[in-house]
Structure 1
C-alpha cells in the first residue's frame, strides 16, 4: 500500500480521523468507524497517507483488503499475517515456525500479562494451520474437535491483536469491507466486543454506509466518515492524467500543447484506450488476470497462458500501475474499478471460455490440494456456465466448511447453491432436501433450536425421497427433542423403535439420548437396568468407546445422587476405556470427572493430581471448555486451602476463556466462585455484584441447578450485610426449589446457612433443627468434608447452649471425619476447640 504521487487536499478528513484515533487509544478503548464512498474516490489512498504522515513508531498500522470476487474464507486475515510474519511461499515449516515464534517473543518482551502470553503460545499451531504452514487432519475430524479448532483459532487471533495493542495501539484498516467473507465477519463480530478495553482502532473502508457487512460488524458503531463524491473521483482523475501524459499532450512546463483535448467520456473507455496501446501478449495477460479476479495467482495464470513466462509481463504491469504483489504467489489489481472495467469490456464468449479454461487448469495443477481452491473453482464454474461443476464445488465447499465448524461459510455456500439451481433445468429436489437437512444440523450444533425446528417443520414426508433422507431427518428431529430437554416426549418418540435399530447408523446416538432421558426423569430402575444391559452387550461387541459413554453417564447418575464411591468407580472405568482407545477428545473431561469426585470425597491431593492431568490434556488438545472447568475446580481447592490469591488468578484466567468462547453457563459458575471468595474475604459488596451476575446469567439460561446454589450464596450475603428478612425469604423459597429438583447437596447447604444465622440470633431450637436436617443429608451423601463442617458448627452451637458433653462428642466425631478425608485445616480447628474445652475443665 504505497504511492509515489502527492496527496492533495482532504487534510481535514485526514486529521479528523487521526484525532479520533488519539482520543480513543488514550482512553485505552477500541472503536470501529466506517469511511465510505464510491470506488475510486481515494479511501485506500487516505489510509496510506495516514501511515506515511504519522509513521510506524507511535502506532501499529495494520492494513488488509478483502477479495471482492472470490471472498475466500479468512482471506484478509491470512494475507495480513503472512505479511506480518514475513512468511514466503516456499519457506519450509521450521523457517515459518521460527518467524512466528520470534515475532511473539519480541511482542512479549514488554508485556507483563504472562497468562496472555501462555495462551498465545498454546495457540501457535492454530495460527499455523490457518496460514497453511501446517496441515491438520481434516479427513477424520469430528464435530466437537472441529468446533474446538475453530474456537481456538479465533481465540489465538484475538490474543495476537491483544498482545500487539499492549506494545503499541493498533490501527486496523479493512479495505473493501463490503466484501468480507463469512469467516472474517464471524471473527470480527466475535473479536470486537472482546477487545473493548484494548487500544484497537478499526477502520472499515467501504462503498456503502448501509451494507449488510458493515452493519453486522459495527454493532458498537462509533462514527462514520464519508469520502464524498463531490470531492472528486481520484481514480478517474488519475486515469485522465495518465492519458494526457501517455498521449504527449503536455510540454516540459506541464502545459497543454493543444486547446482541443479529446478525452474519453467515461473511465471504461479511457482504460480500454490505455490497454489497447500495450503489447499484445501483455494485453492477453491483463485480460486473463482480470477474469481470474481482483486477486490472481501467478502459477494459475502461467498455466493458462500456455506456459508463457509471465514474470516479464507481471513486471510490466507493475510499472504500468496495474497491479502489485499481494501475498506469496498472488498479485492484486491496484484498483477494483480498473479490473472491473477490463473484465466488462471483454466479449461474453471470451470471458466464458477463460473461466472454462480456469476450472480445468486449477483442477489439473492443484489436484493434490483442491479443497484450498474451492472458491476459485466455484467462481469460474458459475461464470463459465459449467452447471455440474458449479453444483459439485458448492456442495464440496459447504460440506468442508461444515466439517471444520465454519458454520457461517457453510450456510452461505448451501444458500448460494439453492439460489444457483433455482432457474436451472435440472432435478433439484434432492439437492434442496440435502441442503435443508444440513442447515438443520448446523443450527443444532450452534444451539439455534428455533431455526432448526422451523426448517424441520417445513419438511414433509414427500420431500424425503430415500431411506438415507428418512433416517437423517428422524435423527435430527430426535436430536432437537433431546436438546430441547423434552425428555418425556423423547422417550415416547424412541420407545417404539428401540428394538428395530439394528441397521441404523444413528443407533448409538438414540440409545445414549434415551438413557440420558431416563436419568433426567429420575427413572432410576429403568436407567440402571438399561445401562447394565448396554454395557454387557457392547462389551461383547468390543465397542469400548460406546461402553465408555454409558459408564460415564452412570458416573454422572451416581454423582447426582451423592453416591460418590460408585461415581468414582464408573468414572475411573470410563477413563481407562477412553485412554486405551486414545480418544483425547474425552480424556480431559474423564480425568476432570475423577478429580471432581475426589474433591467431593475430601481427598484434595488426588483431586489435584487428576485436575492437573486434565489441564495438561486440555491444553495439549486445545479443549478450552474443559480447561476452563478445570481451572475453576483447581481454584476451588486452593480457595479451601486459603490460597485465595492463586484461586482468584485462576478464576480470572477461566473467566477470560469463558468470555472468549462465549460460554455463559461457565461464566455463571465463575462469577459464583468469585463471589464465594470475596464473601470469605468479607468483601461483601464485590461478593454481591458477582453473585447477582451469576444469578442473572443462570436465570437467562433457565439453569435450575445454578439457581439453587447461587440463591444459597445470595442468602448468606444478605445475612452478612444485615438484610435478614430478604435472606430468609430467598433461602426458604430456595429450599422448596431444591427439593423439587432433587439437589440434595444444595438443600443441605441451605439448612446450614439458616442454622448458622439462627445460632447467631440465639434461636437455638431452630438452629438444632436445621443442623440435624443438613447433617442427615450429608451423611447419606458421603460428602465427608461437608459432613464434618456441618457437625463442627453444630458442636459450636451446643457449646453456646452450655451443652458441653454433646459438643465434645460431636468434636471427636468431627476430628475422626476430617482425619479420614485428610482435611487438616478442619482437624486443627476441631482439636483447638476441643483442647480449649478441656483446659477450661468444662469436660469434667
Structure 2
C-alpha cells in the first residue's frame, strides 16, 4: 500500500531529514498475535502521522520500521514520534524495545519500475536505529545524539554510554528516553504576518542581555486574538538575533489564571514546570525531581565562581520557600516560625534568587501571558524583580489586553511597550493564503475585512468555519455574508457544534475546569466515556486546544473556552461544577490545601453555600498566612457572607483574620470596624482567650494610629485578664503593648520594667514574635537613653534570633539599628558596614521604605565622615522614596539632615529652608526627640546668619523638650548653640556660665554619644571657659582633641584624611597645637 501523496510525487526520490523508528516486539510470533498491536499503530499514525514501511518476522523476532519526515515533513516531527512511542507504550500490553535516529537520508522509490518498487528511506540512520533497538533492554527506547540534541528541550534523555556497532567505524553514543518534560510547547504553525516592526523592537529590547545587563520589562498590549502570544512565539523561534549569543537565552513561560487568580499563581505555574513536577505522580517522585533540578543549579559549572559563591548559600536558604510554592514541604521549612509578612517577603526573595542564579550561566527571558488577570502579589513580585535584576542578564516580557502604562502597573524603569493593532487588508490576504494554501477570492477577503476587523484570531476562526462548512469550494459561488454568524462568539460556537457530539461533550466539560485543565481531573469526570483520550486528540486536531504536556491542555484561546462554557445551560453548569468539586476532593483527599481556592470557586458556581463557606474559610486563612492580601479579603468576605450570626466562633475567627489583613494593608477605618465587631462578639461570651486576643489587637491598632493612652489602657486590660486566668503568654503580650505605650509617651523607666517582664514571660512561653518585639523596643529605649552598650547587646541577640529564623526583613531592621548605635558611638566605619549590609537586603527584598531609611542613614554617616558630596547623593535618593511610600517621619528626617548638611558646608539660606519644611512636618507627627533636633539645627543656620533672637528661642525650646523626655545628656547640643550666640554678641559672662554647665555634662558624658557635632561642642566649651579665664579650659581642649584622635583612628588612611578635614576638626587640631605652643613658651 502506497499513500496517494506518494503516488502523486513528480520525483523518484529526494534527500530529507528523516526520523527513523525501529520497534522490536517481545513474544509476538504470528500475524494473529500482531494484529491488535498493528491496529493500535494505525490509530496512532492517524494522530501523529508517520509512515509504516516494513513489518518483518526474522531472527530478532517481530520488527516494525516507521519513518517521520517523508513523504511530508512537519516542524515538530520529533515531538510527534516521541508522543507516538509514549502513547503506544500506554495503549498496548505488548512489551517492546526501540531505536530512534534523526538523519539526512534518501527518501524515494527503489526497485525496477516495471517489476517491483517500494517507497522507503536509505542511509546510516536506518542502520543505527536497528543497532540501537537490538542493544536497548526490553521496555526501553534508545536514541542517537542527533535526535537527543533536538528533543532535549521537550523530553528527558539519559546517557547510556558509547557503543561499537557493526557498520560504524567510530563509537556511537546512545541516550535512553525517560519521558516528556513538564514544559509548554505552544508553538504556532505557519509564518507570522505583518509584525516585522514589532519583532525588530523586541530584538533591540533584549540587546542589553549581550552585556550581562537587565533588559527591563516589555509590555505587549492588544485586544484578545490580536497576536500577542503569536508575536512572542515568533520572536522566541527567530534564529537571527539569537546568533549573537554564545548560547541562545533560556525561556521561562507562565500564564496568569483567569478564574482563581491565586497568590503568585504564574510563578507557581512556572516553578511546576521548571522543577518538572508531574500531576498525579507520587509526592516522593516529585520531590526527587525538585531536589535534582535545584542541586543541578547549585553545582552548575558554568556559573562564574564569584557568582557561585554568592548564590549557593542563598539558593540553599531559598529551597524550602521554592518547594512550598509547588507543594513540596521540606524538613527545614521555616513557615511555622515566621509571620505572614516575613514568610511572604522571603518567598519573593527566593524567586528572585532562583531567577538571578539561572541567568548567571545563560541569559534568561521570563514571559508571563495575560497579566490583566495577574494577582496583586504577583505584581509585587514583578516590581521587586524590576528593581533587583540590574546586574543580571534577564528580560521580562508581559502580554496583556489592557491598555495601561507601566506607571499604572507600578513598574519601575526600564520598561517598553508594544501596542499591537489590526492587520491591514494585505495582511489578512496573506493570512488567508497561509491557511488555505491559495489566495482568497475577493468575496472571501471582503468578508474577512468586514467581520474580523483585522483581528488575526477572528479571521482564522472565520476561515476555519467556512472551510468546515465547505463554503470555500469552487462550486459554491453563492457564498454571501448572510451565511456567516454576526459575531465571533457565534462563530466559535458554530465551530464547536461541528465537532462530533461526544467530542463536544468533552470540550464542554473541560471548559468548566478553566482555560488550562488537568487531563487527570477531566478523565475522572468522564471516567465512563469510552476512548476519552482519542476524543481529546480529536479536539486538539480541530484546533480547540493544544497540549501543554502529557497531562495538561490549554484552550487555543480564552474566547474558545468562554464560548464552550457559556453555551451550556446554567443548571447544567451548576451540576458540572458540583461534580468537579467532588472530583477534586476525591483525587486530592490526602492533601486538599493546594486546592482550597478551586474548591471554593466550584462550589460557589454550583450554588452550594455550605461547602463554599467551608473552603472559602480555609482559603482565606491560608491566604492570610501567606501574606496574599487580595486573595484573603476575597475569600474571607465571602465566608463571612455565608456564615450566620449564630455561628459566633466561626465569625470571630474570620473577623480576626480579616482585621489582620486590614492592619497589614493600612486600611484603618475597616480595621476599626472589625475590632468593634470582634468586641461585640466577645461581650456575649466568657471566652478569656478571645477577649485577650481582641484587647491585644486593640492595643496594636492604637499604636499605629498614635493613640498611646488607648494603647496603654488596652495593654493593661490584657494584663489584668491574663492574671485572672493565669495565662503567662497572654500576660507577656499585654506587658509588651503596655511597655511600648509607655515608651511612646516618654516614660522610660516604667517602659523598661514592663518590656523586661514581657521578654521573660514570652521566652518562657515560647512566643518568639513577642520575644523579638520586646527585645527590639528594649534596644530602642537603651539607645535613646544613651546606654549604647545595653542597646547593642539587645540588638546582637535579636540579630542572632532573626538569622536563625531566616527572617531577612527583620535581619535588615536589626542591622540598621546596630548601625545607628555605632553611629552614635562615633564608630562611623562600623555603622557604614551595618547600614550597607542592611541596604543590600532591603534592595534584594524590594523593601522600599527600608531602602529609603538606609539611604538616609548612609547619608548621615558620610556627612559625619566629611564626604559631603556622597552624603548629599544618599539623602537626595532617600527623599523621593520617603514620599513614594508616604512615610512622613522619614521625609521629615531627610529634610532635617539636608538642612544640617547645608549648614555645615556654609549654605545657610538653603539650610533654613529645609529646616522650616522639616519643622512643619514634625509638629504634625509628635516626636519630641526629633522635634528638638530640628529646632537645634534650624537655630544653627539662623546663628550663622546672625539672626540671634530667633535662634536663641529655638535653642531654648529644644532644651525644654529634651529635658521633658529625660534626655539630659543631649541638652548640651542646643546649650552649646546658646553659648556661641553669647560669644558672638560679646556676652562673656553668660558664655562662661554656659561653659561651666557644659563642662559638668562633659564630665558625665565625655564621649558625647548621641550628639551630631561633638568636637564642635568641645571647642565651644573651651572658648567659653577661656572667656571666663578658667584654667580648666585647657583640659577640656585636651579631652576634645583626644576624642577626635580616638575616632580618627577607627578609619583607614583615606577616610581619616577626609574625617580630619572637617572644618570643626581642623579648628580643633589648630587650636590644640596653638595652645600647646603657648604652654611650651610659658614654661620656657
Q: What is the match of residue 729 of structure 1?
A: 939
CA displacement at 1:709 relative to structure 2: 9.9
Q: Equivalent residues in 2 for 1:605-684 (5 A)?
A: 613=800, 618=803, 621-630=806-815, 633=818, 651-659=835-843, 661=845, 666-679=850-863, 682-684=866-868
CA distance in 2, matches of 1:507, 1:170: 52
Matches for 1:534-553 after TM superposition, within 5 Å = none
1:752–1:737 Cα change, 3 Å = closer
Matches within 5 A, 1:518-537: 518-523=742-747, 526-527=750-751
Q: Match of 1:150, SS?
A: helix
- The change in CA–CA distance for 1:107 and 1:65 in structure 2 (over 3 A counts) is farther
Q: What is the aligned partner in structure 1 of residue 80 from structure 2?
A: none
Residue of structure 2 aligned with 1:491, choices 705, 712, 726: 712
Is the contact made by 2:980 and 2:1020 (CA closer than 8 Å) also made in structure 1? no
Does residue 36 (structure 1) correspond to residue 260 (structure 2)? The answer is: no
Displacement, 1:471?
Answer: 6.2
Task: Name the counterpart of 1:185.
Answer: 379
Q: CA deviation at 1:77?
A: 1.9
State the shift of 1:236 in Å: 3.4
**How far does the alpha carbon of each residue in 1:770-816 deviate from its partner, in whole angstroms, 9 at most, with x for none?**
77655644654686878999589848985996999757755887899
Which of 797, 804, 809 aligns to 1:591? It is 797
Conservation of the 8 A alpha-carbon contact between 2:266 and 2:378: yes
**Aligned pair partner of 2:738 in 514, 533, 540:** 514
| Secondary structure at the counterpart of residue 367 of structure 1 | coil
Whose radius of gyration is greater, 1 or 2?
2
Distance, in Å, in 2 between the alignment partners of 1:136 and 1:547 is 24
Contact 1:632 1:670 in 2 (8 A): no
Do the aligned partners of 2:815 and 2:837 also contact (CA within 8 Å) in 1? no
What residue is the counterpart of 1:579 in the other structure? none
Check 1:721–1:758 CA distance in 2 against 1; reply closer, same or farther (3 A cut).
farther
1:372, CA displacement in angstroms?
0.2
What is the SS of the residue equivalent to 2:592?
helix
- Partner-residue secondary structure (3-state), 1:369: coil
Counterparts in 2 of 1:487 and 1:843: CA distance versus 1, 3 Å: farther
Q: Secondary structure at the match of 1:154?
A: helix
Shift of residue 365, structure 1, vs aligned partner: 1.9
Q: 1:386 to 1:345 in 2, by over 3 A?
A: same
Bigger CA drift: 401-410 or 338-347? 338-347
- Alpha-carbon displacement from aligned partner over 1:724-746 (angstroms, at most 9, x marks no partner): 98566257647744752544565
Q: Secondary structure at the match of 1:368?
A: coil
Distance in 1, matches of 2:381 and 2:695, equals 33
Query: Which one of 375, 396, 401 corresponds to residue 597 of structure 2?
Result: 375
- Aligned pairs (5 A) from 1:240-389: 240-243=462-465, 245-246=467-468, 256-260=474-478, 265=485, 271=492, 274-275=495-496, 282-306=503-527, 311-326=533-548, 329-389=551-611
Which structure 2 residue ranges, 5 or more long, are not aligned? 1-185, 423-450, 913-936, 942-950, 1061-1067
Q: How does 1:550-565 map onto structure 2 within 5 Å?
A: 556-563=780-787
Structure-2 change in CA distance of 1:11 and 1:426 (3 Å):
farther
Structure 1 equivalent of residue 29 of structure 2 = none
Helix, strand or coil: the match of 2:854? Answer: helix
Q: Which runs of 5+ in 1 are unaligned?
A: 576-588, 593-610
Distance 2:630 2:853 in 1: 29
SS in 1 for 2:339: helix
SS in structure 2 opposite 1:379?
helix
- In 2 relative to 1, CA 106–817 (structure 1 residues): closer, same or farther, beyond 3 Å? same
Alignment partners' CA distance in 2, 1:324 and 1:768: 90
Secondary structure (helix, strand or coil) at the match of 1:67 reads coil
Q: What is the SS of the residue equivalent to 1:440?
A: helix
Residues 1:391 and 2:613 aligned together? yes
**CA separation in 2, counterparts of 1:772 and 1:494?**
44
1:22-60 superposed Cα distances (whole Å, 9 cap, x missing partner): 7999997735535121x3333322222233336545666
Deviation, 1:361, is 1.5
> Cα offset for 1:376?
1.7
- The offset of 1:303, in angstroms, is 2.2
Change (3 A) 1:635 1:286: same
Q: Which has the higher contact order (CA 8 A, sep 6+)?
A: 1
Change (3 A) 1:649 1:756: farther
Check 1:722–1:290 CA distance in 2 against 1; reply closer, same or farther (3 A cut): closer
Aligned CA RMSD, in angstroms, stands at: 5.6
| Aligned partners of 2:226 and 2:420 also within 8 Å | no
SS in 2 for 1:324: strand
Whether the 8 Å contact between 1:66 and 1:175 is mirrored in structure 2 is yes
In structure 2, the partner of 1:580 is none
Which structure carries more strand by proportion?
A: 2
Return closer, same or farther for 1:637/1:50 CA change in 2, 3 Å cut-off. Answer: same
CA distance 1:328–1:56, change in 2 (3 Å): farther
Query: Taking structure 1 as reference, are residues 345 and 555 closer, same or farther at Cα in structure 2, changes over 3 Å only?
Result: closer
Are residues 1:234 and 2:419 paired?
Answer: no
Q: Distance in 2 between matches of 1:214 and 1:382?
A: 35
For residue 100 of structure 2, what is the aligned residue in structure 1? none
- Write the distance in 1 (CA, Å) between the matches of 2:618 and 2:484: 46
| Inter-partner Cα distance in structure 1 for 2:1000 and 2:848 | 34
Distance in 1 (alpha carbons) for counterparts of 2:389 and 2:796: 33
Would the alpha carbon gap of residues 425 and 648 (structure 1) be closer, same or farther in structure 2, given more than 3 Å must change?
closer
> 13-22 or 344-353: which moved more?
13-22
Deviates more, 1:235-244 or 1:398-407: 235-244
**How far 1:74 sits from its partner (Å)?**
1.8
Question: How far apart are the structure 1 equivalents of 2:404 and 2:896?
Answer: 45
Q: Which of residues 216, 219, 225 in structure 1 aligns to 2:419?
A: 225
Native 8 Å contact 2:222 2:401 kept in 1: yes
The answer to whether the Cα contact below 8 Å between 1:177 and 1:206 also exists between their aligned partners in 2 is: yes
Instruction: Report the Cα distance in structure 1 between the residues aligned to 2:990 and 2:879, rounded to whole angstroms.
Output: 28
Cα shift at 1:239? 3.2
Task: Work out the CA distance in 1 between the residues paired with 2:764 and 2:645.
Answer: 49
Equivalent of residue 128 in structure 1, options 313, 323, 327: 323
Q: Which moved more, 1:172-181 or 1:355-364?
A: 172-181
Q: Quote how far apart the aligned CAs of 1:268 are.
A: 5.4
Contact 1:65/1:175, CA 8 A, preserved across alignment = yes
Q: Is the 8 Å Cα contact of residues 25 and 200 (structure 1) preserved in structure 2?
A: no
Provide the residue aligned with 1:608 in structure 2. Answer: none
Q: Partners of 1:539 and 1:113 in 2: how far apart?
A: 38
TM-score of the aligned structures, taking structure 2 as reference length: 0.60
Q: Is 1:439 equivalent to 2:658 in the alignment?
A: yes
The CA deviation at 1:363 is 1.0
Does the 8 Å contact 1:735/1:747 carry over to 2?
A: no
* Greater shift in the superposed pair: 78-87 or 523-532: 523-532
Tell me by how many angstroms 1:484 deviates. Answer: 1.9
| Among 671, 695, 712, the residue aligned to 1:452 | 671
Is the deviation greater in 221-230 or in 297-306?
Answer: 221-230
SS in 2 for 1:332: strand
Distance (whole Å) between structure 2 residues aligned to residue 406 and residue 234 of structure 1: 37
Check the 8 A contact 1:295/1:330 in 2, yes or no: yes
1:153 deviates by 1.9
Q: 1:99 aligns with which of 279, 285, 293?
A: 293
Tell me if structure 1 keeps the 8 A contact 2:334–2:806: no
User: Would the alpha carbon gap of residues 695 and 121 (structure 1) be closer, same or farther in structure 2, given more than 3 Å must change?
Assistant: same
1:356 is displaced (CA, Å) by 1.4
The structure where helix makes up a greater share of residues is 1
Shift of 1:533: 7.4
Post-superposition offset of 1:109? 2.9
Question: For the Cα contact (< 8 Å) 1:28–1:197, is it kept in 2?
Answer: yes
Contact 1:63 1:80 survives alignment (8 Å): yes
Q: Return the offset for 1:185.
A: 3.3
Number of equivalent positions: 792
State the shift of 1:186 in Å.
3.6
1:584 is matched with none
Say if 1:69 and 1:536 are closer, same or farther in 2 by CA, change over 3 A: closer
Deviation at 1:2, TM superposition (A): 0.6
